[in-house]
Structure formats: structure tokens, C-alpha cells
Amino acid sequence: MSQSSPVVSAARNNRALDEAIHAIPLALFRPAPAVYWVDMLASAGLGWTSLVFAVVADRWSRAALLLIAVAALYRAVLFIHEITHRAGRDLTAFAFVWNALVGVPLLVPSFLYEGVHTDHHRQSCYGTEADPEYLPFGRRSPALIIGLTLASLLAPLALVVRFGVLVPLCWALPAVRRLTAERWSALVINPRYLRRAPIGRAGRAEEAAACVVLWLSVGLWWSGRIPASALLVLGRCQRCRVGEQRDPHTYGAPLRPRLG
């Protein structure tokens, strides 16, 4: 094989990149506790407070408060990425508090991303069917992009089915539990991805809590204690988290060549 072949050049570039990353001091990768806690608590607090006031506000004030709630809760939801990488290990109780204030109420508990997103960063998985967050859009029809974008609008409904219907079935039927763990327990855009990471005790607790919160919310809506607009805001935040994985750089990126 020629020393100037594309494969050799790509291997050299990857090795140089790995060496540059390893040269970065580890301290720069550690989360700053004060920044994480203040940002997350402020975002969640602003989001839920705006939502509560929107319930009792008039039409125009309600619209403004609902927009604030969407923006603030969306920012709070994004901490699921940090929990997956380091915050869940380096910040004591951060994942628990985030799930209690954000993940479980919005039906996006952290177990849906933990053990899943990291596959996207593995060189052995990236750009393959084992990559949860990558599809070769550059080689596919534009119709696929449009179809996936439209499908993301159904994300809130999918989460309702996942935690409102499948969770009780999982408790009763082991076969459904296995299928749900593989196919319906990961925030992904790759429909062929199968979850390999086991769902631990914390994940099962988050799953049960999300089921309870969901049916409690349905009951409050049915009794007229919370308006449908409040539930739509929560659905919007869910859709934003799923839709964020379908951003322009993901759509436009072709499948990178694999080495070996």
C-alpha cells in the first residue's frame, strides 16, 4: 500500500488528533460544580415557574410565559449530555437532582442517553449501524431528511407510549421488557441501533417514576386542574431534545470512510 494512500493519511491524521487530545490537561475536562449546579437549577426553576404562572395568566401573558418555559426547560434538558459524559460521575447527586427536576417530569430520564451516546464517540461504532446518532444523509435521498424531521414531531407521543404503556407491560411480560430495552430505551436517530448497555437499578427507578408522573399529569389534565397548553409545552421540550440530534451538520455530513 502506498505511503500516500488516503487510508494511511487518514490514519496519521487520526493519530495526530488522538495525541493532541491526550496532551490536554485532565483538569480542563472536569466539570465546575458551581457552574453546573447554578445553571441547571436556574434553568429548571425559571422553566417550571414560568409554566406555573402561564397556567393562571391571560392569553397574551400566557403565550410569553410559555415561550420562556420552553427555552428554559430546553436548556435544562441539555444537561443530559453532560451527565452522560462526566457530570454523572464527577458531581455527587447531580444526576439524581436533574432527573427529579427535569428528566423524569419531561419523560427524558438520563438512562435513555447513558450508555448510548458514548457509542457515538467510539471509533469502532462511529458511522456504522452501531452508531446511535449518525446516518449517511449525504448518500441518501433528501426525502429521508424530510421524513426524519417530520417523525421527530411524534417524539412526545413516542415517549408517552414508552412510559405510559410499555412500562406496565414490561413489569408483566419479560419478552416485552427485553424488546423495550433494546428498541425503545435510547434517544437515537438511527432506527437500526440496538441498545447494548444494560438498564441498571437507577434506570429502572427513573422509568417507574416517569410512568407515575405521566399518568398523574393525565389525571390532572382530565380533571381540569392543568390546561392542555401546559402539556404541549412539555411536549415541545421533548421534541426539541430529539430534534437537536437532527441539526444541519448531521444532515449534511456524508458517511466518513472507515479504516481497515
pLDDT digits (tens, 9 = 90+) for 193-212: 888 888 999 999 999 999 99
State the Cα–Cα distance between residues 212 and 204, nearest whole angstrom.
13
State the Cα–Cα distance between residues 128 and 258, nearest whole angstrom.
9
* Percent over 90 (pLDDT), the chain: 32
CA dihedral 60, 65, 71, 76 (to 10 degrees): -160
- Is the separation of the CB atoms in 104 and 206 below 8 Å? yes
Output the pTM of the full model: 0.76
- Is the separation of the CB atoms in 211 and 167 below 8 Å? yes
**Domain boundaries, given as residue ranges, for the chain:** 38-252
Mean pLDDT of 43-47: 96
pLDDT in tens, 212-256: 999 998 898 888 877 776 777 666 665 555 545 444 344 444 333
State the Cα–Cα distance between residues 129 and 126, nearest whole angstrom.
8
